[in-house]
A and B are shown apart, each in its own frame.
Chain A
Amino acid sequence: MTVEWGHFALILALVLSLCQVGLPLWGLVSRDAALMQTARGTAVGAFVFTLLAFAALTYAYVQSDFSVINVAMNSHSTKPLAYKISGVWSNHEGSMLLWVLILTLFAALVAMARQAIPLPLLAAVLVVQGAVASAFFLFILITSNPFLRAMDVPAEGRGLNPILQDPGLAIHPPLLYIGYVGFSIAFSFAIGALIHGRIDAVWARFVRPWTLLAWSFLTLGIAMGSYWAYYELGWGGFWFWDPVENASLMPWLAGTALLHSTVVMEKRDALKVWTILLSILTFSLSLIGTFLVRSGVLTSVHTFASDPSRGKFILGILVFFIGGGLSLFAWRAHALRQGGLFAPISREAGLVLNNLVLATMAATVLIGTLYPLVLEATSGDKISVGAPFFEATMLPLFLPLAVLQPLGTALSWKRADLWAAMQRLSWAFGFSVLVMGIVLYVTRGGSVIAPVGAGIGLWLVLGSMADLWLRVWRAKAGWAVNLSRLIGLPRAALGTALAHAGLGISLIGIAATGWGTEVIATVGKGAEIPAGPYRVVLEQVITRNGPDYRETIGRFQVYSDQNRLGVIEPGKRLFIGQTMPKTEAGLMTLGLGQIYASLGEFQTDGTVSLRLYWKPLVILIWAGALVMALGGFLSLLDRRSRIAAPKTARQAQGEAA
């Protein structure tokens, strides 16, 4: 029965979402505050019922109720509990349910937030949120219902795809979706502002925390996905420019631009029309990403055409919201007051440049991802747009932006002195160039892009540190005073520095892939293979059983000179209910680098083919992303952008008075 209750709760959530659209909209038209207020209750209600539906499906998974088709297709009674739960969103239907759960959660949070949003704007925002939620509720109920029962109940489930049975991928979708879906708030605020016809610096303050929250989670989600692909797919790459990855990168790039443009809007009351457009575009890219991943269009245009019900439905949602949003923008944008202009050398001019480049990068990823689909659909020609294209187009855009970033942060608002800014950063710049020069010399004959990339990364890190240093340091004050000055900086300033430093850290890690080593060999027992400054020795081949799999592993000892550092166990796993074995990489983290081993076929003579990598500084790629997200969260704690800080009694009294 629980499943039926869940199904019913989902339908009720749809009904409430429709009310969330209809009632406040009527209130907006008739200027009835009481009707506008209904937006809050319906938004919270829709979330509660979606949560109930989600809980019911989770319960079915935990109970291994194979009479539910979705559970039978994606779970197995022997799965560990954690993977039974993550099984809920490891499939199409369940992941769409998670998508709307997060969407309604964001709407409920906006409804409950103490942000002092003017009621008409709040009502308009929640109407748009309700409309998006309604569309996706309908999508789930009509084409992707996870609550359907089977006529004949199988005794056992088909099992979770083993590649998804992994802690990284269990938490990857929720992180990513919080990011994707969080941008819907900026979208709704943009539509609300267009309907409202008014937009100002206060609007930017309302939107900024939600964008920051979404951006931080999206950063974590992308990093998680990248690390998962790195250790799970078995050949040690961390980014493949796969359409599914691009789908998450596009909203990230646009969202990054949006974060920066809202700063300009908040501080200088400028870039307003552009910020509105960017808000619409960022969520549109989230929707396009959802469409790309969920419609089947990526596998091939023909898959999409042969089972078009889902694809067409999402395409309809896409066209309605993106088309509608952009049309509204075209119709109403002129009604918004344009902001002031500014001097070419100023913080805001730097941020405009940042937006120009980031928007171009987002557009490049979009065009590169869609081009082959469009070309095939229109002319029948098949081309591939792979990693070489993206590297050739994105690097020339990104690297100059990275070089200019610390300089932009050093400029002051309104009218800045470029020369003074450069002087302030001269130490950071000089040191970065010096290190780059030394590395170029030491590794001469090798890759040039690696030292240059690492040098730019170092410059980003040092530039951010220099910015904090110059804000805080007083030569005459003691260390304790300077430290308390650092802690006393606005959280947003610390967050900005962290996020930019994080980008630099990631860049150093990415650049360092150029210094890795790779060995491909057939090895037998006792074989000794070099891995950068280390070496590994095959001790033995073992076959053993795990909780729900059987695996054959190669046990390798890792040595540094004569010191034994430990063991890595790359191997192959065959999960119950599956026929294809899955490669498990053997990893050992040594400092900031990793030894990465991946095994091929085991031969009858006891040898096995091995791919062994030494990846120096590789940890920095994801550590940098973590630092970036941390910067985002820190900014969120800034007093300017508290989302739902409860008011103290005194504040409340003060307002009442």
Chain B
Amino acid sequence: MTRQCARSLTLAVLLVMLALTGLSPLRAVEPDERLADPAQEMRARALSAGLRCLVCQNQSIDDSNAPLARDLRILLRERIAAGDDDAAIKRDLVARYGDFILLQPPFNPRTLVLWTAPFVLLAAGGWVLLRRSRRPSALEHTTPLTEQERENLRRLLAQDQPDNPSGHPPHRP
């Protein structure tokens, strides 16, 4: 019985995973939540698109219809209407819920590797390439083809003849 139960639980979890980002019907921002001032409403939308719905899987509170997401949407609209700026609202939310609520992780020692990795990798790869291209010695380390390889190559190239074996645009002088 308990095994059966565990199995069905597991299956339920897996189904949730399979359903990508969310299972529930989504409607997110409801008309009654919206602020009258279009500029303020736009700020609220932009802000809520960057805040994570804490009870959902990878959804912003702008996209989610979970009650908690709705509460947060209403909360931040109240703050905006009261004249608070975006940074202050974010700061308070982070104080309450932690960095987890920010879909864009802040830049700090804990996320240093995350933020710098793409550029470090690109630079490192570029450096390796530059270094290698300046070392002409590797050019000389070529071994001639064996007779069998020559034969294979000739056969394969022969199959290509009607095409354009060089890969050069044919019109070029």
Nearest-Cβ distance from residue B78 to partner chain A, whole angstroms: 18
Taking a contact as CB atoms closer than 8 A, the residue among A235, A240, A347, A371 that contacts B114 in the complex is A371
Within 8 A of A (CB), among B68-116: 98-105, 110-111, 113-115
Considering the chains assembled together, what is the distance between the CA atoms of A389 and B6 in angstroms?
36
Query: Contact flags (1/0) for B108-126 with A, using CB distance below 8 Å?
Result: 0011011101100110011
User: What A residues does B20 contact at CB under 8 A?
Assistant: 225, 229, 233, 240, 242, 244-245
Interface size class of A (residues with CB under 8 A): 35 or more
- In the complex, the answer to whether B19 meets A205 with C-beta atoms within 8 Å is no
A173 to chain B, nearest CB (A): 9
CB distance from A648 to the nearest CB of B (A): 12
Inter-chain contact A298/B141, CB cutoff 8 Å? no
Let me know if A335 is at the binding interface, CB within 8 A: no
Distance of A167 from chain B, by nearest CB (Å): 16
Taking the complex as formed, is A387 at the interface, i.e. its CB lies under 8 A from any CB of chain B? yes
A88-110 contact mask (Cβ, 8 Å, vs B): 1 or 0? 00111001000000000000000
Docked pose: A294 CA to B164 CA in angstroms: 46
What is the minimal beta-carbon distance from B151 to any residue of chain A, in angstroms?
Answer: 11
Whether B58 pairs with A161 at a CB distance below 8 angstroms is: no
Interface string of B150-164 (1 = CB under 8 A from A): 001100100110111
Per a CB cutoff under 8 Å, which of B65, B99, B118 touches A360?
B118
Using C-beta atoms within 8 Å of the partner chain, give the interface range for chain B. 35 or more
B39 at the interface (CB under 8 A from A): no
Q: Which residue of B lies closest to A229 (CB)?
A: B20
Contact (A296, B13) CB under 8 Å given A229-B20, A388-B50, A600-B30: yes
Enumerate chain B residues within 8 angstroms of A581, measured Cβ to Cβ.
Answer: 25
Docked-complex contact B164 and A490, CB < 8 angstroms: yes
Q: Does A583 contact B (CB under 8 A)?
A: yes
The chain A residue sitting closest to B118, CB to CB, is A364
A557 in the interface, Cβ–Cβ < 8 Å? no
Most buried by B among A375, A386, A581: A386
Name the residue in A163, A243, A344, A347 with the highest tally of chain B Cβ atoms < 10 Å from its Cβ. A163
Distance between Cα atoms of A393 and B121 in the complex (Å)? 12
B43 at the interface (CB under 8 A from A): no
Task: Please provide the 10 A-B residue pairs with the shortest distance between their CB atoms, ordered closest to farther.
Answer: A386-B103, A388-B104, A600-B27, A583-B25, A234-B26, A382-B100, A490-B163, A364-B118, A522-B31, A92-B14
Q: In the bound complex, do residue A383 and residue B111 qualify as a contact, i.e. CB atoms below 8 Å apart?
A: yes
Given that A582-B25, A598-B26 are contacting pairs, would A386 and B17 also be in contact in the complex, using a CB cutoff of 8 Å? no
Given the complex, which residues of A lie within 8 Å of B32, measured CB to CB? 522
| CB <8 Å contact, A91 and B31 | no
Report 7 cross-chain contacts, Cβ distance below 8 Å, ordered by A residue: A235-B63, A240-B58, A296-B13, A341-B135, A341-B138, A580-B24, A582-B25
Residues on the A chain within 8 Å of B30, using CB: 520, 600-601, 609
Question: Interface 1/0s, chain A 430-441, versus B by CB < 8 A?
Answer: 000000000000
* Given A161-B23, A235-B28, A599-B27; A202-B167 close (CB under 8 Å): no
Please tell me if A385 contacts chain B, counting CB pairs below 8 Å.
Answer: yes
**Residue contact B10 to A386, C-beta cutoff 8 Å:** no
A338:B26 contact, CB within 8 angstroms: no
Using CB atoms, name the residue of chain A closest to B171. Answer: A470
